[in-house]
Every structure is written in C-alpha cells, then in structure tokens.
Structure 1
Amino acid sequence: MDANKLLNLYAAGERKFNGANLHQVNLSDADLKGANFAEADLSGANLSQADLSGCNLSRANLTDADLSRANLNGANLSEVNLIGADLIEVNLEETNLSRADLRSANLGMANLIGANLSEAEMSGADLRKANFTKANLIGSNINEAEFSGADFTEAVITEQEMNGGMLHIGISHKWITWAGSY
C-alpha cells in the first residue's frame, strides 16, 4: 500500500491496517492517531514527526524506520522490531515497549517518561540524554548501550550494576521476531 492510499483510507475513517505492507513508505508529518498497524511491515518507513499517539504497532516491523520527533504517546509497541531505527527526540511517554527489540536503535533525547520497557532488548542502542523517568526497565538488556546524560530518576530497575560507565540490567530473554514467532 502506498502513502496516498493509506492517508485517503484514514481520512475516510479507516483505522485498521493490521499486517499491511508499508515497506519504505513516506508518512512523515502524517496524523495517524489511533490507527492499528499491528504486525505491519513498516521497515525503512519515514515516520518522522508523524502523530502516532494511541496507535497499535504491536509486533510490527519498524527495522531501520525513521521515527525522529514522532509522537507515540500512549502507543502499544509491544514485541515491535525497532532494530536500527531512528528515534531521536521521539515522544514515547506512557508507551508500551515490553519485549521490544531496540538493538542499535538511536533513542537520543527520547522522552520515555512512564514507558514500559520490561524485557526490552536495547543492547548497542544510543540512549544518550533520553528521559527514562518512572520507566519500567525490569528484565531489560542495555548492555553495550550508550546512555551518558540519560535520566533514570525513579525508573524501576532490577539487578542494577554501575561498572565503568556501563549499566547492566537484565536477564536472558527468549526473543520474539517481528512476526511474533518464538
């Protein structure tokens, strides 16, 4: 599906885009509040500055997608694949990112206040200056992540260890692919 077709369907009141193939679609600056993109392929998509607040993106493939400065407030991104995604200055406040795969993603200056990142895989991610205030990080893995200047005020963290500027959190996971298989 191309961007124009999706935007026309959305304007006509359609909100269900489950499993849609939107590979490399350009939806920058789009207003798609409350849409359902569960299990959709949005790999390589340009969603910069889009309003995706309240959207369901569970188990979606957003590998290498550009979500910089997008609004995902209150969205469901559980089990989402965000490997290598650009999430600079993204608003993920109160967002469900449980079991999300954020390996090598760039979350520099992201707003993650109150986000649920339980069991999220964030190894190798750029978390510099991100705000994790009151975020749930139980069971998450941020090994080898860069988090200088990140704010973890009142974040829920277990097995915390500060070692040479590196924070190690978490347990071993059984990872879920973007298609949701084990």
Structure 2
Amino acid sequence: MFQYSNQQYAGVKFGTQDLRYGELISCTFDRCSFANGSMDEIISSNCRFIECDFRGAALNGSIHNETAFENCSFNGANLFVSKFDACKMTGSDFSGSTMDGISIIKGDWSYTNLRLASLTRQDLRGVKFHEADLSGANLEKADLRDCDLTMAILAKAKLQGADVRGAKMEGVDFKSLTIAGLRMDREQTVLFSLAHGAKVG
C-alpha cells in the first residue's frame, strides 16, 4: 500500500501502474490518464482530478471523500461498490460504466452524463443533479428526496417506486416522464399538471 500526499501531477499517464489499495490525500491531477488502470479499493481524500481519463479503469471498492472529479471521463470504468462521499463530479461522463452497488452521499453531480446508469434502490438524498443527463437511467425505488434535479433530463428514466418529494424539479420535461409509481409532493404534481396543459388555481 502506498500513500501520496499534497502532490501535483499534470499530463501523467498512470494507466500502467498498479494503484490498488493506495491512498491519495490532497493531491491534484490535471489532464492525467488512468485509462484501463488498476485502482481497486483506492482511497482519495480532498483530491482534485481535472479532465482526467478513467476510461476502462477498475475502481471497484474505491472510496472518495470530498474529492473533485471535474469533466473526467469514466466511460466503461468499473465502479462496483465504490463510494463517493460529498464529492464534486461536475461535467463527468459515466457512459457505459458499471455502477452496481455504488454509494453516492450528497455531493455535486451537476452536468454529468449518467445516461442508462443503473441506480436502482440507491439512497441519493440531497445530491445535486443540476442539468444532469439521466435519460434512460434505472432509478427504480431510488430515494431522490431533496435532490436538485433542476433542468435534469429524465426522458425514458425508470422511476417506478422512486421518491422525489422535496426535490427541485424546475425545468424538468414532465412530458418525457413516466410517473406511474413515482412518489411526488404537491409542488411537483402541480408542475406535472402544468406540463400537460392543466390550469391550476
């Protein structure tokens, strides 16, 4: 096991290195590549990854605390039972990544690409998904209470049994939603009715 602390890297290719079981504390990685790398059970705290490439990387069981992944690519990455606690993920792309058993605790996932992501039964309370693309995502039985879903794309998302009470949903295209089995509060019900041409008042 290794530990990197307060290090800064720019344009470094880490994909060939074995980074399993390591610990990263307050490090900055700018446009670095971890593509197809082994990062199982790695722990990061207060790190910053800017435009980094995690395509095809194995991040199984990894734990990230208050770490920022800004505009990073996780295409095809394995995030099985990984944990993101109060992380900033803005603009990152998760298309084709394995997210089974992932834990997302609070944090900012605005502008992320989570198309077709499997997030069934996830506790996502209070997560910020401002303008995130969740089209086709499986959110069945997910707890989305008090999330910021402002302008989020939820077309064809599976929402059966999900709970969005208290979530901000201004700008969501309610016409693209299938709301059967979705738990909504009164404000969201009004937004849904207005989207379908009802006059409320």
After TM superposition, the score normalised by the length of structure 1 is 0.79
C-alpha distance 152-17 of structure 1, shift in aligned 2 (>3 A): farther
- Does 1:22 pair with 2:27? no
The alpha carbon displacement at 1:77 in A equals: 2.1
- The 1:153–1:34 alpha-carbon spacing in structure 2 relative to 1, beyond 3 Å, is farther
- Work out the number of aligned pairs and report it: 165
Q: 1:31, 1:119 → 2: CA distance?
A: 31
* Structure 1 vs Structure 2 CA RMSD: 2.3
Aligned partner of 2:127 among 105, 116, 122: 105
Please identify, of 73-82 and 44-53, the stretch whose mean Cα deviation from structure 2 is larger: 73-82
Which whole-Å CA distance do the structure 2 matches of 1:48 and 1:102 have between them? 20
SS in 1 for 2:14: helix
Q: Partners in 2 of 1:153 and 1:38 — Cα distance?
A: 37
Cα displacement (A) at 1:105: 0.7
Residues 76 and 99 of structure 1, relative CA distance in 2, 3 Å threshold: farther
Separation in 2, partners of 1:53, 1:88 = 17
Q: Give the Å deviation of 1:161.
A: 5.8
**Matched-pair contact (CA < 8 Å) for 2:161–2:182:** no
For the pair shown, the structure with the greater C-alpha radius of gyration is: 2
State whether residues 22 and 45 of structure 1, in contact with CA within 8 Å, keep that contact through their aligned partners in structure 2.
yes
Question: Which residue is 1:46 aligned to?
Answer: 68
Structure 1 vs Structure 2: percent identity of aligned residues? 22
For residue 103 of structure 1, what is the amino acid of its counterpart? R
Q: Mark the CA change 1:143 to 1:17 in structure 2 (over 3 Å): closer, same or farther.
A: same
Choose 12-21 or 24-33, whichever is displaced more.
12-21
Q: Between Structure 1 and Structure 2, which shows a larger proportion of strand residues?
A: 2
TM-score, normalised relative to structure 2? 0.72
Long gaps (5+) in structure 2: 18-34, 190-201
Counterpart of 1:100, as a letter, is Q
Aligned-partner residue type, residue 63 of structure 1? D
Q: Relative contact order (alpha carbons < 8 A, sep ≥ 6): 1 or 2 greater?
A: 1
1:77 to 79, 99, 109: 99
**Which of 9, 16, 26 does residue 14 from structure 2 map onto?**
9
Answer whether contact 2:162 2:183 (CA < 8 A) is retained. no
